Every structure is written in structure tokens, then in C-alpha cells.
Chains A and B, each alone.
Chain A
Amino acid sequence: MLQRIARLPGATGAFVLGRFDYLINITTFVCFVLLAWFSRVRLFRRHSYRPLVTQIIFTGVDAMPRILFLSLLAGFILTYRMITLFDSVGDTVTMLIYVIGLELGPMIAAVTLISRTGSAITVDLGNMKLHNEIDSLETMGVDINEYLVAPRVLGVAISQLVVAVFFTVITLVSGILLSGLVNSPLHFAYLFNLTDGVTSLMLLVFVVKNLMFGLTIGTVACYHGLRVGVSATEVPQQTQRAIVNILTFLFIIDGVSAMVLL
């Protein structure tokens, strides 16, 4: 027992240093990826355009039916309830923007993308690494950061922003419409008051937050996929680590963005 207590400070220190090391590795990785993309690629360079568009279609466009369903549910359940609740407090529109627009919308969009795309990217790259497909590409001069990683990272970032906008708008509009139909026709006015309630700072935070969410999902998923070694058992292990670390980073970014708006 005493030995365990004695080892605690060392273990804590090792854990903290390990986390810092991980953060530095991830940051360096994303810098190299973005450098590889922007250093030689013109905006519509052929070979990198196709994987980027493919990623946006897979991550964003293909996710729309599910996002539509989730946003309608969220609108009917949450927005409708929140209007009823906030009406008694006052300033309903601002509360809706903060809760749905700036918190719930980005987070649910991100969680959907993590479950669909984040895990898929890690498994995809992990299997490529495992089966020497990446090594074969590198021997032919294909820059993996530019061809495989950057389209995924940027594609997920763009998709996250688009999906979050889509989710937020549908959630707000559907909830307000339901509230107007069920509670009071006066609630329809909230549809027009929403645009007045959005400030430039809110808009900026929304855009930056979603882009950061998307960059984080893409980067961490790719990083862990490329860390797979020689054993097939490492693929699910790295996938699990990727998802846990992505969620951790997302909540940290969410907290930082909340402090900006205080």
C-alpha cells in the first residue's frame, strides 16, 4: 500500500508529461499536414481535389439524412421545450441562440461525425498501414500527408461546419414552428427575431468552433490510424483511443469558446 502511494507522484507526472507529449505530437502532425497541402497544391489541383471532394461527400452530404432526422427530433423535443421554459425567464431568442446554436448544434454535429467518419478514417488508414499500402505509395513518391491525410482533415472540417449549420437551422426552425402551432402563434415571430439576436462575435465563435471541431476530428482520427503497427489488434485499439481523445479535445474547445463569449 505504501509503495503504491509512493509511486503516485511519479505516475501522475508521467501521465501529465505523456499528455503534453501527445498534444505536441498532434499539433506537429496537423502543421505538417496543412503545410504539405498548402505548400504545393493549387486550389483545384487535380489529384488532391478528388479525395477532398470524396471526403466531403462521405462526411457531409451522406450524413444529411441522419442529421435531418436528428435535428427534427431535437427541434421537436428540445427547442419546443426550451421556448416554453425560457418564455417564463425572458429573452427567449438569445437563450435559443446560445443553447441550440452555439452549444448543442456543433456538439451533436460533431458527435455524429465522430461516430460516422472519425472511426471510419482511423480504421481505413490503420488497415492501409497494416497491409503496407502506405509504404507502397511512399516508395512511389506519393506524399501521404498531402494525398491521404490533408483531404480527410480539411474535408471533415468543412463538413462539420456545413452539418452544424444545417442541424442548427433545422432544429431552431422546426422547434419554433411546432411551438407556434401548439402553444401560441406569437412564437412564429421568433423566426424573424433570430437573425437580429445573432451578433458578429457569436457568428465568428460558431464558425471557428466548428472548424476547430472538424480539424480535431480529422487530425486525431488520421494520427491514430497512422500509428497502427504490424498487428491487426492495434486497429480497434487505435480507433478507441482516437474517439476518446477526440471527445476530450472537443469538450476542451467547447469550454474555451464558452469563456470567449462570457
Chain B
Amino acid sequence: MPPALLESTGLWPCEIDSEHAGLDLSLQASDVVAVAGDSEQSVAEWLRCLAGLSEPCRGRLLFSGRRVDELDKQAWQTLRTQVAYLHKGSRLMSVQSLLNNVILPAFYHGMGQRDELLARAKNMLTELGVTDETCFDRLPAFIDDYSYSAALIARVMLMHPKVLVMDDFLRMYSKQQAQYLMNCVMKSVRQQGMAAIIHNHDLAPLKSASVTALYLGDVRWQRFGSVEQLCRSNDPQLNQLLHNRYLS
């Protein structure tokens, strides 16, 4: 059996002070986990830790059987192409056109010729709903917010990552736009056999039988078989959290 795409053992982020047992998680291809947490900041710390961007104070993290803390610089850079991280603060380069931004990391890592990457980037942007081709050559400052977000998604997807970590990336959009982008992301996840950890302010798009749920709190964590189970939890604290932050 191949090693898990992402595996954590006793993991706990440094920025959250707690004596609770760390997170044990194992994700194979096409596993999708919806995340809920006590606050935006604590969830962000958890997700950065799970994406291998922050050093945990306890436990270990492995991607495809390799420990993150044992990687040299070259291997760490390669890992970044395999573990995609999207969050509210993700930004395109303001001095490059939309299309150049999308191909930039794939081109940097030598994942294809420039023309081939440009063609794939255009296809990907079109699939993500960017129908105005005139914005492909514009700078990010001159394009609409939806195209901007689509470009951020396309930029990471072009590298065919094995793991996708998304932290409330679609908060700014209308329900319809967010739903559409989320559907595109989930479709890519299934088609490419990725594992995904998704934190979204609206849990509705993630209510699917194949999506498990994880509560990542300041003092504890808890796993649920599905988002429905998370929403029907008997825990009053969790219910209040879900009511206030995720289901309103």
C-alpha cells in the first residue's frame, strides 16, 4: 500500500498553547476533510502547520512517507509544488499579467515549456469561469475579483499538487460564485486524486457523504464521519460555534 499523501502523528501547532493530545490524521488520494475551528487565527495556525509551512511544537508531519522536518532546501522546494496552500492573504504578483502569474511557479520549477503552460493555464482559467480572455494579459490591478481568485486557484492547480490546503479562501464572494469555484476545486481534487483539507466559512458546499469533518480547536480536536455529523454534534460549545460562524 502506498504511503499516505499526508500523515500527522501527535501534531500540535506552536502558536496554540495546549496540553491536549496532538492531531493524528492520515489522508489518501481523493480524501477531502472539511475543517471548523474556534477562531480564524487558530484555524490558520492549524492549516499552516498541516501544509508544512509552520513548524509544530509537537508531533510530526509526513508527506508521501517523508518527514517534513528532515527535508533539505531542494526537497522542501519540491514539496511546495506537491502541497498547495491557498488562504485569504494569497496574492498574485502585481507586476506580471494574469496569465504569467498563473504559469509562474510551474515555469519556475521546470514543469513544462512556456507555450505549453500558457495553453494549459488558459484552459484552466476558462474551466474556472474566466470567460473574458482580454483579462489574460492585464495586470492583476485591472481585473475583477472573481478572475483574480480563479487565477490564484489555477496557479496552484497547474502544478498538479497531491495535497490541497484551503483556508477560507472564498469568503469574499457571493454564494453563487463561491459555490461555483468550490465545485471546480472539488472536481479537480477528484480528477487528480488529490487529498484536500478545506476550511470554508460556509459548510454547505462541503456537505457530501465523501467529505469527512475535523474540528480543530484551541484546546482539542475531534474527528467526524461527515459534515452532517459535525453539524448534529451534541457538544453545546461546538453547536454554538457552528451556529455563530459557519451556519448563519
A and B: bona fide binding partners: yes
Complex: how many Å from CA A181 to CA B230?
92
Residues of chain B within 8 A of A124, CB atoms compared: 95
Do B155 and A133 touch (CB < 8 A)? no
Residues of chain B within 8 A of A140, CB atoms compared: 80-81, 84, 105, 155-156, 159
Complex: how many Å from CA A143 to CA B114?
19
Q: Residue on B with the closest CB to A140?
A: B105
Known A-B contacts A135-B89, A141-B80; the reply to A128 vs B159 at CB < 8 A is: no
Known A-B contacts A46-B107, A143-B77; the reply to A137 vs B90 at CB < 8 A is: no
Do B91 and A132 touch (CB < 8 A)? yes
CB A210 to nearest CB in B, in angstroms, measures 27
Known A-B contacts A135-B89, A147-B108; the reply to A141 vs B79 at CB < 8 A is: yes
Residues of chain A within 8 A of B155, CB atoms compared: 140
Q: Quick one: CB contact mask for A126-154 with B, threshold 8 Å, 1 for yes?
A: 01100111011101111100010000000
Total interface residues on B, CB under 8 Å, equals 28
Do A128 and B105 touch (CB < 8 A)? no
Do A128 and B89 touch (CB < 8 A)? no
Option from A40, A127, A139 in Cβ contact (under 8 Å) with B85: A139
Do B91 and A136 touch (CB < 8 A)? yes
Complex: how many Å from CA A135 to CA B108?
16
Residues of chain B within 8 A of A40, CB atoms compared: 74
29 A-B residue pairs with CB within 8 Å: A40-B74, A46-B110, A47-B107, A47-B108, A47-B110, A124-B95, A132-B90, A132-B91, A133-B94, A135-B89, A136-B89, A136-B90, A136-B91, A137-B93, A137-B104, A137-B105, A139-B51, A139-B85, A139-B90, A140-B81, A140-B84, A140-B105, A140-B156, A141-B76, A141-B78, A141-B80, A141-B109, A143-B77, A147-B108
Which residues in B have some Cβ–Cβ distance to A below 8 Å?
A: 51, 53, 74, 76-81, 84-85, 89-95, 104-105, 107-110, 114, 155-156, 159
